[in-house]
């Protein structure tokens, strides 16, 4: 259920996620250790193009990766195929994108 | 003493009791295990056990073999749950708590008893373009092959396949996706991708990279673990994945 394009996107999104996840975890630890309050965090992220790009890219990579990964699992486990399988993949992609981008918007919009 | 004389003193076989052997009996999806008591011999393969049952106990037992020396690839069965070439699998090595269970190969339909239907396995070889497409005619001079070349070495590493379908039976991706071409067909395609004399590289890459092609492989290496000829279909499939990405066109296929 993977053609070369989906395989390639799966690999590229994984490669993007690897450094982004590490940065994200390091950031969480730093924020918690440093005792930053939610307000302090927001004051740094709001209006920041850099954080918008960082987490925007993160959400994009996760959405693509998860949609393709779940596509394979759903096909192999439940035998979903054809149009239904494509529809499922698109729904997962769009749902993750919308939910993720909303969260990004919430922390960077000023 | 001369070595041949010393060997002559040893009885070729020594009978040390019997063992319980459960054998799958049935046709298609319907069937059950039947138990046989088979004499234990010093030197005995699983194929010997099956043949003994057929010759001495139940002549209706159906199974398949030809060469008995690991060349033809026709004798593979599930032995205690694992796919094995039975003519080269010693009883001593695989007996579990003194017992043996023999069943037809996994992932294939059953014709009768231990004989699996290999049709789809071979059809998939053809589907994967596991067929040589010559680039020259018989009128042309024979092309010298450079055995040192990287491509030839990759082809040679994967070429000793005996079509036994042990890898096909071991592969969970085949179990969950009946369209998946499987390790043997893809391994064969990889040898041809690397064959300088072949003229169908593009056609073949297309055949192995659609739905059910090389991208359905999860690289969990059961094929490599069980291949009796110690081939590495996982590596061949990884090669196909790389080649298909290199040749990826976003507008075509
Ligand atoms: S590595 Fe690929 S072909 Fe081999 S057993 Fe696993 S999924 Fe099947
Ligand atoms: S790759 Fe190995 S296990 Fe698979 S069919 Fe060929 S010889 Fe048998
Ligand atoms: S009988 Fe030929 S490989 Fe076993």
Identify the domain containing residue A110 by its residue range.
39-110
Å between A17 CA and nearest CA of chain B: 20
Angle between helices A4-33 and A49-78 (to 10 degrees): 130
> Which residue's CA is the nearest one to ligand 1's atom 3?
B183
Parallel/antiparallel/unpaired status of strands B76-79 and B115-116: unpaired
**CA B13 to CA B45: how far, in whole Å?**
13
Exposure of A83 in the CB half-sphere (CA atoms within 13 A): 0
Question: Atom 3, ligand 3: which residue's CA is nearest?
Answer: B70
Q: Are B27 and B110 in contact (CB under 8 A)?
A: yes
CATH superfamily of B3-116: Beta-grasp domain (3.10.20.30)
The minimal CB distance from B245 to the residues A4, A75, A77 is found for A4
Per-residue pLDDT tens for B198-208? 999 999 999 99
Between the CA of B190 and the centroid of ligand 1 the distance, in Å, is: 14
Select from B66, B79, B102 the residue to mutate for testing ligand 3; criterion: most ligand atoms less than 8 Å from CB.
Answer: B66
Q: Does B213 touch chain A (CB under 8 A)?
A: yes
* pLDDT for position B11: 46
Is the CATH number of domain B119-251 3.40.50.2300?
no
pLDDT at A35: 85
Confirm whether A54 is domain-assigned.
yes
Cross-chain Cβ contact B248/A75 below 8 Å? no
| pLDDT for B249 | 79
Q: Does B187 touch chain A (CB under 8 A)?
A: no
For the stretch B181-208, what's the b/e string if a residue is b when 16 or more beta carbons lie within 10 angstroms of its beta carbon? Answer: bbbbbbbbbbbbbbbeebebbeebbbbb
Please name the residue ranges forming H helices in chain B: 3-9, 46-52, 91-94, 119-127, 150-157, 166-170, 172-176, 183-193, 201-208, 222-226, 233-246
> B3-116 with B119-251: one CATH topology?
no
Domain coordinates in residue numbering, chain B? 3-116, 119-251
Minimal CA separation from B193 to chain A, in Å? 17
Partners of A1 on chain B (C-beta within 8 Å) are: 177, 211, 216
Q: Nearest 5 degrees, angle CA B148-CA B149-CA B150?
A: 115
* Cβ atoms of B108 and B172 closer than 8 Å: no
Please tell me the number of the ligand nearest to residue B48's CA.
Answer: 3
Instruction: Classify residue A90: in a domain, yes or no.
Output: yes
Is residue B102 a contact partner of residue B78, using CB atoms and an 8 Å limit? yes
Test A2 with B244 for CB contact under 8 angstroms: no
Q: Spell out, as residue ranges, where chain B has pLDDT lower than 70.
A: 1-15, 251-253
**Each residue of A9-34: b (16+ CB within 10 Å) or e?**
bbeebeebbeebeeeeeeeeeeeeee
The answer to the question of residue A65 being in a domain is: yes
- Collapsing DSSP states into helix, strand and coil, what is residue B130? coil
- B218 Cα nearest atom in ligand 1: 7
Residue A18 belongs to some domain of the structure: no
pLDDT of residue A32: 86
ipTM of this predicted structure: 0.84
Check residue B36 and give its pLDDT. Answer: 97
What pLDDT does B251 receive?
66
Ligand 2: does its nearest atom lie under 6 Å from the Cβ of B162? Answer: yes
pTM value surpassing 0.80? yes
Q: Give per-residue pLDDT as tens, B87-106.
A: 999 999 998 888 999 999 99
HSE of B81 in the Cβ direction (CA atoms, 13 Å)?
A: 2
Contacts 24+ apart (CB under 8 A), B158-162: B158/B187, B158/B188, B158/B190, B158/B191, B158/B231, B158/B232, B158/B233, B158/B235, B158/B236, B159/B191, B160/B229, B160/B231, B161/B73, B161/B187, B161/B188, B161/B229, B161/B231, B162/B70, B162/B71, B162/B72, B162/B73, B162/B85, B162/B228, B162/B229
pLDDT at B6: 44
Number of domains in chain A: 1
Q: How far is the CA of B47 from the centre of ligand 1 (A)?
A: 26
| Contact present, B171 and B107 (Cβ < 8 Å) | yes
CA nearest neighbour of B243 among B197, B186, B198: B186
Chain B residues with CB under 8 Å of A3 CB are 209-211, 213, 215, 253
Given the CA of residue B66, which atom of ligand 3 is nearest to it?
Answer: 1
Record: contact A76-B245, CB cut-off 8 A: no
Cβ-nearest to A3 among B176, B177, B209: B209
Mean pLDDT of A50-79: 96
Question: Pseudo-torsion of CA B217, B219, B224, B226, nearest 10°?
Answer: -80
Q: Which residues contact B39 (CB under 8 A, 6 or more apart)?
A: B15, B17, B18, B52
State the Cα–Cα distance between residues B189 and B157, nearest whole angstrom.
Answer: 13
Tell me how far CA of residue B53 lies from CA of A7, B86, B224, in angstroms. Answer: 49, 14, 31
Residues with CB under 6 A from ligand 3: B 65-68, 70-75, 85, 87
């Amino acid at each position: 259920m993977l053609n070369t394009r989906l395989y390639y996107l799966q690999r590229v999104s994984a490669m993007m996620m690897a450094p982004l996840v590490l940065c994200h975890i390091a950031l969480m630890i730093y924020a918690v250790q440093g005792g930053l309050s939610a307000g302090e965090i927001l004051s740094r992220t709001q209006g920041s193009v850099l954080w918008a790009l960082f987490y925007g890219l993160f959400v994009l990579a996760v959405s693509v990766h998860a949609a393709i990964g779940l596509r394979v699992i759903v096909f192999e486990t439940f035998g979903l195929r054809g149009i239904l399988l494509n529809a499922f993949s698109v729904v997962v992609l769009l749902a993750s994108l919308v939910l993720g981008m909303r969260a990004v918007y919430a922390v960077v919009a000023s | 003493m001369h070595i041949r004389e010393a060997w002559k003193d040893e009885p070729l076989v020594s009978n040390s009791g019997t063992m319980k052997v459960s054998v799958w009996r049935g046709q298609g999806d319907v069937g059950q295990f039947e138990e046989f008591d088979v004499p234990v011999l010093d030197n005995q393969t699983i194929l010997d056990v099956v043949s003994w049952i057929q010759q001495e106990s139940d002549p209706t037992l159906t199974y398949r073999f030809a060469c008995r020396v690991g060349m033809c690839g026709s004798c593979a069965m599930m032995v205690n749950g694992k796919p094995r070439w039975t003519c080269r699998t010693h009883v001593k090595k695989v007996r579990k708590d003194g017992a043996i269970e023999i069943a037809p190969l996994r992932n294939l339909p059953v014709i009768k008893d231990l004989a699996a239907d290999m049709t789809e396995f071979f059809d998939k070889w053809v589907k994967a373009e596991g067929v040589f497409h010559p680039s020259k005619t018989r009128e042309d001079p024979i092309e010298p092959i450079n055995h040192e070349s990287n491509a030839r070495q990759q082809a040679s590493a994967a070429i000793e396949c005996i079509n036994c379908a042990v890898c096909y039976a071991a592969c969970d991706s085949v179990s969950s996706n009946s369209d998946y071409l499987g390790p043997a067909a893809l391994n064969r395609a990889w040898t041809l991708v690397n064959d300088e004399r072949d003229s169908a590289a593009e056609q073949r890459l297309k055949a192995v990279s659609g739905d059910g092609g090389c991208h359905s492989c999860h690289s969990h290496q059961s094929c490599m673990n069980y291949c009796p000829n110690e081939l590495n279909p996982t590596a061949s499939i990884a090669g196909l994945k790389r080649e298909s990405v290199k040749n990826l066109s976003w507008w075509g296929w």
